[in-house]
Amino acid sequence: MAPSRSHHFSTHLMRRMRRGAMLAAALMTCGLASASNPIVPGWYADPEIRVFAGRYWIYPTYSDHAGKPDVTPRFSAAQKKARQRKTVRPSYGMQTFFNAFSSPDLVHWTKHEHVFDVRNADWAAYAIWAPSVIAANGRYYMFFSANDIQSDAELGGIGLAVSDRPGGPFKDAIGRPLIDAFHNGAQPIDPFAFRDRDGQVYLFYGGWKHCNVVRLSADLKRIVPFADGTTYKEVTPPGYVEGSFMIERGGTYYLMWSEGGWTGPDYSVAYATAPSPIGPFKPMGKILSQDLRIARGAGHHSVVNVPGTDDWYIAYHRRPLDTDRGEHRQIAIDRMRFAADGSIEPVVMTNEGVTPRPIGAATPRRR
């Protein structure tokens, strides 16, 4: 007897289901996360999110070992000597590289290992933090913090590395730190590269409760004066601690930063607005803080605007409720929305995360 039409349909359906199951298993095997927070496994912090060549990229700080230690395989003689210095926390010695993650849709992430490593910057030895990557001149430039300097007498500060690809490898671009000293009281850490509408690139940076902004040359390798002749312009808003970040929307500039202590539950994000990238800034309050139903210590964020839309997403780190270890931080992504008056609405942290958002696709159903 010939098989019935229903038998053919059932067989076809079973094959499709098996193929779907195999695809899901393959995605899990590749380490691609489902739509949930945290977005990737492991302890990571200070995520910067960008769009390069039609993909989302996240560049975070390696915060702590999770499972098998991830390490730099070798150090130069100069780096070995530098690593003998006493650090504020033992974890700073682990932080000698950056892994990156890329995604077509904010949900499925691919890991890119050691896109930058101190092997490619001989003066940098530890405390490699908070990268900021920008495309310019047909290449990709990474600003990064190194060595957690405590005074101008120490070697370290903000460095610059360059690569032909967003996935690296990034290599030292100038052979020394770009900013190697304290100006206006700002520790040279936590850089963020911001390109204004006229093409000028500014670098915001600073720890120890001070925030500076500088203008960069066209090749991004030099600091150039502002029109008034100054070079290091302080723009510290009230409550500022570290982690400066900026966006522009509709002619308004939004300077954001982290407040509180990075190891504690009071870590949070606030912002101010201005008519220009250098101010004057009007404080607008907090937009991200702990939620004892979800996580603590939410801060050091970045924001991405989906190209061609007014849709915005915030990437940030947070600490799970079941740990008090400062380095135990995870990356999350949630929606960031603006009110009708242009102010930023408080960010709602979620465990569910965001729905897939391919670049160039229509706006998905909002959560």
Report the C-alpha gap between 305 and 315 in whole angstroms: 11
Which residues have a Cβ under 8 Å from the Cβ of 27 and sit 6 or more positions away? Answer: 108
Tens-digit pLDDT profile for residues 59-97: 999 999 999 999 999 999 999 999 999 999 999 999 999
What integer is the mean pLDDT of 103-107?
Answer: 98
Q: C-alpha distances in angstroms, 274 versus 57, 78, 140, 309, 336?
A: 28, 44, 28, 22, 19
Q: Which residue has the higher pLDDT, 5 or 151?
A: 151
Binned at pLDDT 50, 70 and 90, residue 307 comes out as: very high
Query: Amino acid identity of 90?
Result: P
Binned at pLDDT 50, 70 and 90, residue 1 comes out as: very low
Mean pLDDT, rounded, of the chain: 91
Binned at pLDDT 50, 70 and 90, residue 16 comes out as: very low
What integer is the mean pLDDT of 258-276?
Answer: 97
- For residue 31, the model assigns a pLDDT of 41
Helices (H), the chain: 5-29, 77-82
Classify residue 79 by its DSSP letter: H
Residue 20 pLDDT > 60: no
Q: What does DSSP say about strands 139-146 and 330-336: parallel, antiparallel, or unpaired?
A: unpaired
- For residue 14, the model assigns a pLDDT of 39
Q: Which tokens hold the place of 247? A: 């966006």
What integer is the mean pLDDT of 92-120?
Answer: 98
Report the C-alpha gap between 106 and 99 in whole angstroms: 17
Look up 70 and say whether it is catalytic.
no
Q: Which tokens hold the place of 232? A: 């290091």
**Under 8 Å between Cβ of 181 and 152:** yes
Tens-digit pLDDT profile for residues 116-172: 999 999 999 999 999 999 999 999 999 999 999 999 999 999 999 999 999 999 999
Q: Quote the percentage of the chain above a pLDDT of 70.
A: 89
Residue 177 pLDDT > 70: yes
Look up 242 and say whether it is catalytic.
yes
pTM for the whole structure: 0.90
**Under 8 Å between Cβ of 252 and 259:** no
Q: Which of 48, 172, 242, 334 is catalytic?
A: 242
Binned at pLDDT 50, 70 and 90, residue 334 comes out as: very high
* Residue recorded with tokens 């990571």: 44
**Under 8 Å between Cβ of 47 and 63:** no
Of residues 100, 45, 99, 58, the one with CA closest to residue 243: 45
Classify residue 207 by its DSSP letter: B
Binned at pLDDT 50, 70 and 90, residue 113 comes out as: very high
What integer is the mean pLDDT of 355-364?
Answer: 83
Binned at pLDDT 50, 70 and 90, residue 361 comes out as: confident
